[in-house]
Structure 1
Amino acid sequence: MKLDSNITAVITGGASGLGEATARALAAKGVKVGIFDLNEERGEAVAKELGGAFAKVNVTSEEDVDAGFAKIREALGQERILVNCAGTGNAIKTASRDKNSGEIKHFPLDAFNMIIQINLVGTFRCIAKSAAGMMSLDPIDGERGAIVNTASVAAEDGQIGQAAYSASKGGVVGMTLPIARDLSKEFIRVNTILPGIFNTPLLAAAPENVKAALGAQVPNPARLGNPPEYASLALQMIENGYFNGEDVRLDGAIRMAPR
């Protein structure tokens, strides 16, 4: 897909981190950028800077997602690109024993379901609604649209306490090929990135020595990933018309240890 001012993109979680970097990379190519995020102040600021549009969207809400797509499409036109970066995580063992009292607890199912709803169902909700919109467009050079999802290396190397997070990201990986096949006759491509340890707002408050220790676990280069590196791969997945149905790790060759 040729990236220029004739193209509109929607980036979920686009107000910070991987999503913001992708929004900036797309805008640098002339693409009209629409941002979904819960952080209204930051989202409005980034969208204004990029000459795009912002919608406050909780991806677990059908109403929010519908209203968000409607707002962006009215402002910028029907999107041909969707990049799903909205997501979160938690760290809770499946079952555990309190070190002091010996009390046995299990993973609260509400907390498990919340992660699934945001990371997996929220991603699918945005894919389905965006793809339906893309199908209304005429193909350009044999393409109607391109979708990029964000999973995690935890989909394959889940650590202690990551049952919910790994399940949600594993689901994103698992649905990539079927969705690409579902949309193949409509000329819409679907790919997923599995980032490793990236220097995103999730780590912003961590001390520098902690960041350095995390980066040292990466074989090569021995550092944290930078959001523009994610954005670079996302753009390659969008621009390369033969890139479809793939799940690609972007992790400096790390394989996560149990903890």
Structure 2
Amino acid sequence: MRIQDQVAIVTGGGSGLGAATARHLAGLGARVAILDYDGARAEAVAAEIGGMACPLDVRDEAAVGAAVEQVADTCGQAARIAVNCAGVGLAARIVGREGKMSFDVFERTLRVNLFGTYNVMSHAARLMTGLDPTGTGERGVIINTASVAWQDGQLGQAAYAASKGAIASMCLPAAREFAQSGIRVMAIAPGLFHTPMMEGLPEEVTQKITANIPFPGRLGQPEDYALMAAQIIENPYLNGTTIRLDGAVRLPPR
């Protein structure tokens, strides 16, 4: 699918992977709507790229539905592109010190990462089905964000790995369901990326982490993710699978 002149929704577009994706798609001629919990950041990126901002919590199904409708009304057509980057990276042992349980972390992580992704995918696909197909028979492309943690989850990542594993696992059945409408569904599983989740780490910790990446020997940049997203959108034969974007890294146990 050509990106130019298409309407795109990017969640988590106020920072990190989402902001880079929003900028890249806008640079390729898309009209981009940013859905983000942080309204100020969403507005800032939207102003920079000539897009629109919809502050919301992706866990709120009704708010997501209203935002997707608002994007369609404002842009004159529903989004053909939806990229889900919104998420949290909370860490906790299943049973911590002195028997402390972490169900609250597990629940919040799944509600944001998994339920939020599902909400946006559902409402985006609902409106995509009403669009006319392109010359290649496509009505839309949905890209969800998993993580290499779904296969290489580290100690303390049970909740995060579960949420990202579910995103990877639902990619194929979602693609099969929406195939009849000409909608492709893909997932990207980033490795160790330079995002707000990583920026708070001490330099020596970052260097230790980077040393485990075979090639290129650096953290992934958000622009690497944005490039992958654009390539998925433009390649009509990519469908129903999860692509690791990781520099060949495999996460150690801790």
TM-score range, shorter chain: over 0.9
Q: Is the CA contact 1:154–1:169 (under 8 Å) kept in the aligned structure 2?
A: yes
1:82 maps to which residue? 82
CA distance in 2, matches of 1:161, 1:210: 17
1:93 maps to which residue? 93
What is the 5 A alignment of 1:102-181? 103-107=98-102, 109-141=103-135, 142-181=137-176
2:192 maps to which residue? 197
1:182 maps to which residue? 177
Q: Is the CA contact 1:214–1:223 (under 8 Å) kept in the aligned structure 2?
A: no
Q: Is the CA contact 2:187–2:243 (under 8 Å) kept in the aligned structure 1?
A: yes
Match of 2:201 among 189, 201, 206: 206
Which range moves more in the overlay, 240-249 or 69-78?
A: 69-78
**Shift of the alpha carbon at 1:183?**
0.3
CA distance in 2, matches of 1:215, 1:227: 16
What is the 5 A alignment of 1:25-44? 25-44=24-43
SS at match of 1:43: helix
**Shift of the alpha carbon at 1:54?**
0.5
2:56 maps to which residue? 57
Deviations 1:92-129 (A, max 9, x none): 11113x3xxxx22222x222111111111110111111
1:239 maps to which residue? 234
TM-score (norm 2): 0.96
Residue identity in the other structure for 2:128: M
In the alignment of these two chains, the number of paired residues is 252
- Higher gyration radius (CA): 1
TM-score (norm 1): 0.95
CA distance in 2, matches of 1:87, 1:35: 14
The gaps in structure 2 that reach 5 residues or longer are none
Identity of aligned pairs, percent? 47
Deviations 1:174-221 (A, max 9, x none): 000000000001000000000000001112233333322221111111
Residue identity in the other structure for 2:111: Q
CA distance in 1, matches of 2:38, 2:101: 32
SS at match of 1:243: coil
Deviations 1:145-183 (A, max 9, x none): 001110000000000011111100000000000000000
SS at match of 1:183: helix
CA distance in 1, matches of 2:225, 2:168: 16
Match of 1:219 among 176, 200, 214: 214
2:246 maps to which residue? 251
Q: Is the CA contact 1:11–1:23 (under 8 Å) kept in the aligned structure 2?
A: yes
**Shift of the alpha carbon at 1:231?**
0.6
CA distance in 2, matches of 1:205, 1:162: 17
